[in-house]
Amino acid sequence: MCDEIDLDIDQLPPELREREQWVCWRSEMRDDKATKVPVNPATGGFGSATDSVTWADLNTAVAAVESDDADGIGFVFTDDDPFVGVDLDDCRDPETGTIDDDAQAIITQLDSYTEVSPSGTGFHILVTGELPAGRNRRGGVECYDTARFFTVTGAHVAGTPTEIAHRQDALVDVHREYVQPDTEPTTEPPSSTPSAERDDASEPALNDEVVLTKARKAANGEKFDRLWRGQTSGYESHSEADMALCCLLAFWTGGDHPQMDRLFRESGLYREKWDEVHYADGSTYGEKTLERAVQQTSEFYDPDTQPREDHETTTEQSVGTQSTQDKAYLAEKNRVLTERVETLEATLAEKQAYIEELEATVDRLEQRVEVAPRDQDEDPDTESASMWERTRSWLK
């Protein structure tokens, strides 16, 4: 069941209960962090927020939890439903129930079905509406409407509606105030020298908001936006999705490491692993990912060589960029697959050595059985039993 909050499906809104978009989740340690991994309610195998085959109805999901096959249930958001989830993290004292001021303001403003998260330290709010364009995460506030799943407890927050309300205007206001950056995008990029010719202390060629605007309007803007929102569908691992986004950021920032790092931390792909040391030279996972992305990017956006109307399209340049980034992604994918093959080959060699050792042991046992003395007066059945007992004693 849930870590601290008991599951109470009777409190769930009917519009959720009737949909067959339910998965389970199981808490697992990944990179030394507790992670809620989606589980297929029907089979107990891995689930996916992008594969409807791994979803089920609510009763099936609850049954899996009750049989201890999973720790909790979750609802999957899709493009075909009207729901938007707002996740508020680390804003509630699980012992006293005290709520942070910002979290209380958001709950009051959205005024829709709200429940306590499984850990007891946050809230999940469900509304109907359309999630505004832009990033979907900032600090402890995260919004999503597709290709993700919400852990569900049914621990309804007293004083909030029991139904999922349509709150488009409030959702836009909350997104603008708590999720979008503090500054508005500028209409003209500041003039500057290319990144390779600047010292580390100078300003990037394009500010962060201009980079995001251009990346979304480019020919491969849909791909960028999916990655920016934290969607990893189409990639074999979260790390490959990280690399794909970093390659796109490398192009638009001119390979500016500080700006790439700053932007990635604002994306839906960011996780604590980013700052963990993963290499012998002391480099963090994030530092090495940025370094490889820049190395694999052969072309960079240069605002000084673009026409005035470029800020509206950048289409031709981005088409070439897409090819470049695809090559970079394939190169990284090849590296990951190579590491996997090497690991599997090492495992196979160990198993082969163990098999050879077992075969040698069997040969020795057979030889000892052949030369063992036989009691002439012993009947065949007793003789067989005796031989089996001797063989068992040799194996011990």
The parent domain of residue 81 ranges over: 9-179
76 within domain boundaries: yes
Answer yes or no: do 133 and 231 share one domain. no
Q: In angstroms, rounded to a whole number, what is the distance separating the alpha carbons of residues 12 and 57? A: 14
pLDDT of 196-227, one tens digit each?
334 444 456 788 888 999 999 988 899 999 99
Determine, yes or no, domain membership for 3: no
Give residue-wise pLDDT tens across range 127-159.
Answer: 999 998 877 888 899 998 988 899 999 999 999
Determine contact, residues 144/136, Cβ cutoff 8 Å: yes
Cβ pair 195, 260 in contact under 8 A = no
Amino acid present at 335: R
Same domain, 111 and 193: no
User: In which order are the strands placed within the sheet that holds 141-144?
Assistant: 114-116, 123-128, 83-88, 141-144, 137-138
**Do residue 208 and residue 340 come from a single domain?**
yes
Does some domain include residue 4?
A: no
253 shares its domain with 375: yes
| Residue 2 located in a structural domain | no
Last residue of a domain, one of 134, 153, 179: 179
Going by pLDDT thresholds of 50, 70 and 90, the confidence category of residue 21 is: very high
Where does a domain end: 151, 179, 207?
A: 179
Is 72 within 8 Å of 151 (Cβ atoms)? yes
Q: What are phi and psi of 83, to 5 degrees?
A: -85, 145
Query: What are the residues facing 99 on neighbouring strands?
Result: 92
- Percent of the chain surpassing pLDDT 70: 74
pLDDT at 184: 45
pLDDT reading at 375 higher than 70: no
- Look at residue 165 and tell me if it is in a domain: yes
List phi, psi (to 5°) of 16. Answer: -85, -45
Q: Do 175 and 207 have their domain in common? A: no
- What pLDDT, in 10s, does the model give residues 276-323? 887 777 778 999 899 888 888 777 887 765 544 443 344 344 444 445
Which of 159-163, 188-192, 208-212 has the least mean pLDDT?
188-192
Q: How many other CB atoms sit within 10 Å of the CB of residue 47?
A: 27
Contacts 24+ apart (CB under 8 A), 238-244: 238/269, 238/271, 239/289, 239/336, 240/329, 240/332, 240/333, 240/336, 241/269, 242/269, 242/289, 243/289, 243/292, 243/293, 243/328, 243/329, 243/332, 244/325, 244/328, 244/329, 244/332
For residues 63 and 147, membership in a common domain is answered with: yes
Residue 137 is predicted with a pLDDT of 81
Are 240 and 342 in a shared domain? yes
Distance CA 249, CA 321 (A): 11
Is residue 188 predicted with pLDDT exceeding 60? no
Is the domain of 94 the same as that of 201? no
Counting every residue written for the chain, the total comes to: 396
- Over residues 38-91, the pLDDT tens digits come to 999 999 988 888 789 999 999 999 999 999 999 999 999 998 999 999 999 999
Task: Kindly tell me if the per-residue pLDDT of 185 is higher than 90.
Answer: no
What percentage of the chain exceeds 90 in pLDDT?
43
192 and 172 share one domain: no
One domain, residues 250 and 372: yes
What is 206-275 written as a DSSP string?
S-HHHHHHHHHHSTTHHHHHHHHTT--TTSSSHHHHHHHHHHHHHHHHTS-HHHHHHHHHHSTT--GGGG
pLDDT at 67: 94
Query: What is the domain count for the chain?
Result: 2
Pair (355, 335) in one structural domain:
yes
Q: What local confidence, expressed as pLDDT, does residue 278 receive? A: 78
Q: Are residues 175 and 200 in the same domain?
A: no
Boundary-marking domain end, from 124, 157, 179? 179
